[in-house]
Amino acid sequence: MSFTRPDAFTTRPTLHGTFGMAASTHWLATASAQAVLERGGNAFDAATAAAFVLHVVEPHLNGPGGDLTAVFSTAVEPGKAVVLMGQGPAPQGATVEHFRAEGLSLVPGSGALAAAVPGAVDAWLLLLRDHGSWELAEVLDFAIHYARDGHPVLARVGATIASVAGLFREHWPASAALWMPGGRIPAEGELIHNPAYARTLQKLVQAGAGLGEADGAVAHTREARIDAARREWREGFVARAMVESAQQPHRHSTGTDHCGVLVLADLAEFRAGYEAPATLEFRGHTISKTGPWGQGPALLQALAILDGFDDEHLDPSTELGAHTILEAMKLALADREAYYGDGDVPLEELLSPGYAASRRSLISDTASLEFRPGHVPGWEPYLPGLRTDGVAEAGTGEPTVSPEGETRGDTCHLDVVDRWGNMVSATPSGGWLQSSPAIPELGFCLGTRLQMTWLEPGTPSTLTPGKRPRTTLTPTLVLRDGAAVAGLGSPGGDQQDQWQLLYLLRTIVGGYSPQQAIDAPAFHTTSMPGSFWPRTWEPGGAVVEDRLGEEVIAGLERRGHRITRAGDWALGRLSAVVRDPVNGVLLAAANPRGAQGYAAGR
């Protein structure tokens, strides 16, 4: 069947072509990726180039000191999805005991004490080494140009800087010097520069170019040059500068000063890597996500629950469909809280047909106001203490900066597919300009991903040295008939999988084109503990775009959903690329909300 389409209008066309397609959350990153494709690079060259551009043009949403997850498929093994793991673990000194000794009951939302080992740069360089074709210098040239010669700044970057200007001036002078040159907030469209980051990237290139005969014949290979840059990052000047900065006392979001615990050994020992994805078969498609150290399998659980309903219950544009989808997401996200983390997780059972059926039976005609994780034999679900005022007592992590100024970081996304059938979907995040003090000689700061861990014992993601925090970064790769057919994702923290679920239902079941699915009205539940401090939850809460329609919204309210209206164009920031494995036709689409995301291709 085809779903209800109350408005056939799309903000832009779904792009069609056969050569190559790119889509991302910023037009300069998309343009850079497409430029790589046009010059003969493959999807992995293009994605890596775009990712480093995102460090420069969306510094309030991601940075080199942050993390990423990606899912990709190669033309050599078209039916195989692979997870690129760029989520660093907690440093060895990041113990619950140390945080308690610092007088903390929560992991701060800003400041280097909350820094996980940075994983993004090593992950991109690993992907480039193993699956790209270009030299590192060629790939990084785009980001070096924008950092050294300037790029027109987004209004949202200036707004973020303005929100933390007092903190920068009073406590983080290095950040003020980098982001407020002359003591002023950059205006929208003004050219801003980051020469320190340009020099950092140039030095990484030089680390490989400087390999000589003493390093052996293998040193002259492209792969060896990239590995030399990786060593320089984790053991050389970058590592030394990160550790020196982290260990200086500085203001955290607690309003108190602390030193970070990151040391050289943490950086030297980390390696990005590849993992098998978590997968689910849905209506003839294989949906591929990260493992349960990320929230990705929650999307698979929701699909498993919804797969037992007829198509009428799966249309997000109707009252019945929106209600059913909201209830399925509540159940899946409750299991995320109860079971997910970097350790033993009963994922096979959580994704099993029998378990999905038991969860499906809980969905009634009215909205649930309860927190309802499921029960897996032999496992004890973690139940966060939920106060009646809607705050989860066991939460950690602060707003990104507080109390001097309050703002939250967010995330970027990019997707690339090339004419050979290589496809990558990646979600970089963390290391926001407001995360921790800027490191003057590097031009970036450390991230704060540890704010997603608990200081309470016995949780699935209690702060533990060497373990990854449960991340919200969750790209998606879709396979059909032994080939990758779609890559998609979105910024949005806890909402990432919820908005992607709407896209998958509308395209796989409803017959929407990619741009129609991205433009269509979105919604999400807030009826679960959030992943970030103060981990609020609103029993029965649902946030909707007004374009969902008065009749549908009124029907949801009658069913007991506690509706918050977000405006007409406020939710969902997806991008996507698609490939038809039969005729090789490529498609791309990007989010119009915020007038920032773009797709390109031919």
Write out the DSSP string of 272-330: -EEEPPEEEEETTEEEEE--TTBSTHHHHHHHHHHTTS-GGGG-TTSHHHHHHHHHHHH
Q: Identify any residues that bridge with 251 across adjacent strands, giving them in sequence order.
A: 257
Q: Beta strand 598-601 with 20-24: parallel, antiparallel or unpaired? A: antiparallel
Burial class (CB in 10 A: 0-12, 13-18, 19+), 168: buried
C-alpha count within 13 angstroms, C-beta hemisphere, residue 396: 25
Q: Which amino acid is at 321?
A: G
Concatenated DSSP letters of 209-275: HT--GGG-GGGGSHHHHHHHHHHHHHHSHHHHHHHHHHTS-EE-TTSSEE-----HHHHHH---EEE
CATH number of 280-397+491-594: 1.10.246.130
Helical ranges in 463-526 per DSSP H = 496-504, 514-519
Q: Which residues of the chain have pLDDT under 70?
A: 1-2, 4-8, 211-219, 386-409, 533-534
Buried/exposed 241-259: b ≥16 CB within 10 Å, e otherwise: bbbebbeeebbbbbeeebb
Residue 515: CB partners within 8 Å, gap ≥ 6? 10, 11, 12, 13, 14, 589
**Tally of CB atoms within 10 A around 561:** 26
Residue 402 is predicted with a pLDDT of 44
Secondary structure of 546-561 in HEC code, one letter for each residue: HHHCHHHHHHHHHCCC
Residue 281 is predicted with a pLDDT of 98
Burial class (CB in 10 A: 0-12, 13-18, 19+), 41: buried
pLDDT in tens, 403-451: 444 455 678 999 999 999 999 999 999 999 999 999 999 999 999 999 9
**Distance between CA atoms of 432 and 58, rounded to whole angstroms?**
9
Which tokens in the block code for residue 160? Answer: 């973020």
- Cβ atoms of residues 588 and 576 within 8 Å: yes
Burial class (CB in 10 A: 0-12, 13-18, 19+), 369: middle
**Distance between CA atoms of 337 and 529, rounded to whole angstroms?**
8
Question: How far is CA 408 from each of CA 44, 303, 329, 387, 553, rounded to the nearest angstrom?
Answer: 30, 29, 23, 23, 28
Residue 399 is predicted with a pLDDT of 35
What does the DSSP 8-state code read for residue 507?
A: I
Residue 195 is predicted with a pLDDT of 98
Portions of the chain given CATH number 1.10.246.130: 280-397+491-594
Longest dimension (CA), the chain: 75
Which tokens in the block code for residue 575? Answer: 């991008």
pLDDT in tens, 501-544: 999 999 999 999 999 999 999 999 999 988 876 677 899 999 99
Cis status of the peptide bond prior to 534, with omega within 30 of 0 = yes
Residue 401 is predicted with a pLDDT of 43
Which tokens in the block code for residue 25? Answer: 């959350």
Residue 485 is predicted with a pLDDT of 98
What does the DSSP 8-state code read for residue 443?
A: T
**Distance between CA atoms of 325 and 510, rounded to whole angstroms?**
14
Percent of the chain with pLDDT over 70: 93
